[in-house]
Structure 1
Amino acid sequence: MKRNGPLLTLLAGLALAAVLITVNLTVTARGGDDPDPAGFGAAPATSAPAESAPPAASPSAEASPAAVPAAKVNATWAGTVDGGGATIAISVTDGVAVAYLCDGKKAEVWLQGTAAAGKLSLTGKNGATLVGTFGGGKATGTVTAGGRKWTFTVKAVAKPSGLYRATATVRNAKVVGGWIVLPDGSQVGVVTVDDVPQPAPAINPATGAVTVDGAALTAEPVTGALTKN
Structure 2
Amino acid sequence: MKRPGPLLTMLAGLLLGVFMLSLNATTGTKNVASTKKEPPPAASASPSPAKPAQSPSPSPTRTRVPVPNADYAGRTDDDSSAVAVAVHDGKAVAYFCDGRTKESWLKGDVKDDGSMRLTGKNGDSLTGTLKEGKRIRGTVDVAGGHYAFTADKAKKPGGLYRATATVRGAKVDGGWIVLPGGRQVGIVTRDEEPSAAPSIDPETGAVTVDGQQLTARPVTP
Q: TM-score, normalised by structure 2?
A: 0.72
Superposed CA deviations along residues 186-212 of structure 1, whole A, max 9, x for unmatched, are 111000011111110000111100000
Q: Distance in 1 between matches of 2:47 and 2:137?
A: 62
Among 208, 211, 216, the residue aligned to 1:214: 211
Distance 1:51 1:75, change over 3 A: farther
Among 180, 199, 203, the residue aligned to 2:200: 203
The more displaced of 123-132 and 66-75 is 66-75
- Cα displacement (A) at 1:74: 1.1
Among 111, 117, 120, the residue aligned to 1:121: 117
**What's the C-alpha RMSD, in Å, of the aligned pairs?**
2.5
In structure 2, the residue matched to 1:152 is: 149
Superposed CA deviations along residues 1-58 of structure 1, whole A, max 9, x for unmatched, are xxxxxxxxxxxxxxxxxxxxxxxxxxxxxxxxxxxxxxxxxxxxxxxx9996752256
Structure showing greater radius of gyration is 2
Q: How does 1:1-229 map to 2 (within 5 A)?
A: 55-57=51-53, 68-117=63-112, 118-136=114-132, 137-224=134-221
The more displaced of 50-59 and 171-180 is 50-59
- Cα displacement (A) at 1:70: 3.5
Superposed CA deviations along residues 74-100 of structure 1, whole A, max 9, x for unmatched, are 121111101111011001111110111
CA contact (8 A) 1:101 1:109 kept: yes
Distance 1:91 1:58, change over 3 A: same
- Cα displacement (A) at 1:71: 2.1
Q: TM-score, normalised by structure 1?
A: 0.70
- Cα displacement (A) at 1:182: 1.1
Q: Distance in 1 between matches of 2:84 and 2:46?
A: 74
- Unpaired runs of 5+ in structure 2? 1-44
Q: Across the two proteins, how many residue pairs are aligned to each other?
A: 174
Distance 1:154 1:50, change over 3 A: farther
Identity of aligned residues (%): 51
